[in-house]
Amino acid sequence: MGDMDDAMTAEAPIERRMDRDREIILARGDFTRLFAVFEDHVRTWGLHLDPLGLVMMRQALGGVALYLSSRPRNESCAFTLNFEKPATNIFVSGRSEEGTVTGRIFTENVATTGESRLFVQTSRAGGRDFTSVIDVTGLDVLLILEDYCARSEQAPARFFEIGDDDYLMVASLPREDRDWLSRLERDEALKLFEEARPLDHKAFRFHCGCDPLRMQDVIKRMFGDRLDEVFGAEASVEVTCPRCGRRWTLRRDQVDGEDGS
C-alpha cells in the first residue's frame, strides 16, 4: 500500500500573488502530481475516460482548485456540467479549507435537456447553501468557469493553461477594470504573475473522502426501506461512489443497521 498512500497524498502546489495596481489576484498551480493521482484512480477503478474526457477533467479539476484557492476557507462547491453534445456529465467538487478536489465523468445513460448547462452548489459552514444554473456553450471547461464567474459570482476571473499541468487564474478585485480583464491574453497574464508580489502558498490534492459508512448513508437516503431494490436476494452488493467512481462492497446487515461494525 505504500505507493498508493504516497500517491494519494500528492499535492498540487498553488502560489498566489497580488497586483495592487491592477487590483487582481493571480493564482498559479502545478497539477502534475494531482493529475497523476486522478489518472491512477481512473485506472484502478476501471472508469471510462477517452482523450476528450481526460482533457475536460484536467481542466475541471485544475480550474476548480484554482477557483477554490481564493474562496473563503469554510466554503465547499460542487460543479456539474451537463453537455448536450456529446451527452456527458462532468462532476467536480472541492473544499477550500481542506484543499481537496474530486470528480468523475459520465458518458453513458446521460439525460440532457436540450441545452448544455452548468449547475453549481455552494455551501459555507454555518451559512446558507446557494445554487446557480447557467446555460453554457462549447466544451472548453476553463471558458465555462470564466463565464460562471462573470455571470453568477459577479467577480470575473480568467483561466489560462500555461502548460499541460500548469494553470493560471487571474481574479479581479472589486475595483478592477473588467474590460481590461476580458481582453487579457495568456502571455500578458503570465508576465503579470511573474512581476506580482507574492501573497501566499496553498496546496490541493485529489481526495473524495468516501468510505463504507458514507456509502451506507447514501443507500439509506436513496432507497430507505426499499433495500430489496438494491440487494435482491444477495447478502452483499458492490456500489460505486457517485462523486469519484470508487467501488465499495456493502453488506445488507450493515445497511440495515443490524451489524454495528
Using alpha carbons, select from 105, 93, 103 the residue that is nearest to residue 37: 103
Using alpha carbons, select from 61, 26, 13, 48 the residue that is nearest to residue 208: 61
- Interior/surface letters 4-37, b for 16+ CB within 10 angstroms, e for the rest: eeebeebbbebbbbbbeebebbbbbbbbebbbeb
The three-class DSSP label of residue 67 is helix
Q: What's the pTM value of the predicted model, to 2 decimals?
A: 0.90
Helical H runs in the chain?
2-8, 32-44, 51-69, 141-148, 178-183, 186-195, 212-223, 228-231, 252-256
Residues of the chain under the 50 pLDDT cut: 1-8, 258-261
DSSP string, 188-237: HHHHHHHHSEEEEEEEEEE-----HHHHHHHHHHHHTT-THHHHTT-SEE
Place of cell 501573497: 199
Give the C-alpha separation, 249 to 210, whole Å: 13
Q: Are 54 and 60 in contact (CB under 8 A)?
A: no
* Whole-number pLDDT of residue 246: 96
CB contact set of 160 (below 8 Å; sequence gap of 6+): 142, 167, 168, 169, 170, 186, 189, 190
Give the C-alpha separation, 187 to 179, whole Å: 17
Give the C-alpha separation, 101 to 206, whole Å: 5
- Tens digit of pLDDT for each residue in 98-121? 999 999 999 999 998 899 999 999
Pairing of strands 117-124, 197-206: unpaired
Place of cell 459577479: 154
